[in-house]
Chain A
């Protein structure tokens, strides 16, 4: 009795607004906070990409309102070359860190990982709250860079030293702006480490009775594997950022060699190595790609199975493939550095595991495709985005085949081919996973259904639009179109400008289409039809509870799990599926 009352007391929901909605310990609120932060970041990032695209094709046209953002960066509304690079840096940083890491991993992972394994909350709720607010702090520090006198940094999201390390001699934005960038990423790393540890501990320790590892939904696995990758990756980026900051403000020379003359000034540094930064950065940077894409793979698998009304051809193979990808992701960072001046022999060493990653990726693709065969695919906004993910993953994946080979990379390195490749596979594919997850889980998260027709319209326009943006990037790359140029003045680049104009139109269009999504999100939140507990006839534990879930998820009880997560295409009392917590045994005959 006393035990029971203690139990209840522990789980009493907070009553004050601050504890409920701001500094909440509830993993569901924290998940939504991550989602909201990602939404703000993706909106800023998208507007930045619009401004860049407009500047690229109309370099001398004033952009209304831009001078309000930065008078020095856009005198009379016309963007300067350095401000273009500032926007490029901020776009990449916001998208990679605050969108692609936050949305598929931290947002959905926080909300659904504990529920899917039958836990009341994360293992360390206070850590969890801290990781969100630390991420928020990192975001604020980064955005502050817009408002410092010199403007945001211009060294790209990769912040290659010594450009990023020597201070304002290297150009505008390389003063305080670059220091804020380093600090922001440093803080972000702390948040990610806390979050990853929490995910790992939660998955290993808080699984409910019957929830063996092999009964976890694939998305739970994906978040678990991702947190293991993130733990090691951010642990390397964090000290690297610290060293960069020290080079900038404390006069150290980790990344700066002797004898550099910048702005006619001999730099007072010696003994550092620019390649060291590249190694540290990409040792994080490549696994980071999988931090973005693995959760999307998991989410897509989970939703695809639900929409196909059948399990995948193999659950285990998918899990093993994700593990293999995670493991290999640590052996390939040098493929970003084939022409960097590192020992040319090491290029071959890095090339081989890079090509090897194609094998688990192809196995996964074939399993997704093969599972569609003979299924009863239900077309919803969520499943359309899953299909879009598969298509984008293939498109972005095959171009990786080129870049993994050092000899071809000599020609294609630093061209728009690379831009097309990573936007498709890491950007669009991962974002499609987030869209799919949103349409799928929104009813559970808010208790309201989203508008399906608007969702489908959003899919069609986004799907076609993103292909129009990112496919032509590959063609431009084949023509040798160099990236990170604020204007195309070279003789061989000028003839390509009409293609850039087409891309700009496509980007403006596709960006505008996202307003449909935002509208749907907001209007459904308040006016959507009430969501039943299990609108998609899904099997995993989050669908056993009301929508939205109560504060302590399972109302103080511990669910018992009897099945693997994908009992579909069977005969049961509920229809063609069985909930994980249903003690009923499935009929053997297919429905």
Chain B
């Protein structure tokens, strides 16, 4: 039965690798490849992902096949078969693990830092376009500062979804609020850095755009920001990835990447709708 185990395990290991290598579900058109990256920072993450895939994939295959091979060879032997010890014993194993995994960790760790630093350790450029994103059960809303370039203050007690006052603005008293533009989709100009100011109205949420290689939680009581540059015109889904309640699965919005001209006219139109 040891030989059966070896065969089954080898088959499982090889079959497991097929969708990883082909990026597709066994002969179908269902794709598992991450979507095309449309950000300026994402290529570093993608490289890191594919490097790790190669190293982890090889370790996976090597370990499974070695396990299968040893079981094939040494299971169900005769009771008087000679017991042998792996040449070098435990010392070889410890050295191999330290060397192989140690260098792998060091390499991945060092290069991985770069990819992380690209996203988090560089502040947004001073001329980045500020947009405020507010997450609440179960929708995203976005706010553009308008002509004055300033966001009016938000008053939680003035939030009134029935009257579309999602941010709790008080234009009657706050001058800066009067030209703020509130929308349900995140339209951004292509190739321009966006400085996204993130605020949660109620519970934890998250901002995930696969194509942008960005995922960041909204933390109630803690206003975070992130910045990105979208490089390709198109419409992409923004989904919530932090369990936020019964409508979590349906909490989404669209990221609409437009040419600068289209963005300007979009913004003008939205301003007139306010």
Residues of A within 8 A of B (CB): 80-82, 85, 154-156, 160-163, 166, 170-172, 174, 256-264, 266, 272-275, 308-310, 312-314, 317, 339-341, 344-345, 347-348, 351-352, 355-356, 358-359, 362-363, 365-367, 369-379, 384, 387, 390-391, 394-395, 398-399, 401-402, 405-408, 410-411, 413-415, 456, 460, 463-464, 467, 471-472, 475-476, 478-480, 482-492, 495-496, 498-499, 569, 576, 590-591
Contacts and interface: CB of A to CB of B under 8 A. Distances in A.
Contacts of A260: 156, 201-203, 220-221
A394 B96 CA distance: 16
A411 B215 contact: yes
Contacts of A85: 243, 245-246, 248
Nearest to A173: B246
Given A163-B203, A401-B56, A340 B219 contact: yes
Interface string B214-244: 1111111110100000000000010101111
Interface in B165-211: 168, 201-204, 206, 208, 210
Greatest chain A CB density within 10 A among B1, B32, B56, B239 is at B32
A459 B143 CA distance: 57
B82 A170 contact: no
Interface stretch (B70-78, B125-133, B144-152, B259-267): B70-78
Given A317-B94, A370-B86, A478 B32 contact: yes
Given A162-B203, A376-B74, A394 B25 contact: no
Given A367-B93, A401-B56, A410-B214, A498 B25 contact: yes
Interface of B: 1-2, 5, 8-9, 12, 16, 19-20, 25, 28, 30-35, 44-45, 48-49, 52-53, 55-57, 59-60, 63-64, 66-67, 70-71, 74-86, 89-90, 92-94, 96-98, 100-102, 104-105, 108-109, 112-116, 119-121, 136-137, 156-157, 159-161, 168, 201-204, 206, 208, 210, 213-222, 224, 237, 239, 241-250, 252
A258 B30 contact: no
Nearest to A477: B32
B222 A405 contact: no
A407 B45 contact: yes
A278 B64 CA distance: 35
Contacts of A490: 237, 239, 252
A261 B82 contact: no
A375 B74 contact: yes
Nearest to A82: B246
23 contacts: A81-B249, A81-B250, A313-B86, A347-B120, A348-B113, A356-B105, A367-B90, A390-B67, A391-B9, A391-B12, A398-B59, A405-B48, A410-B116, A411-B49, A411-B210, A413-B215, A471-B16, A475-B32, A486-B246, A486-B248, A490-B252, A496-B30, A499-B25
B217 A341 contact: yes
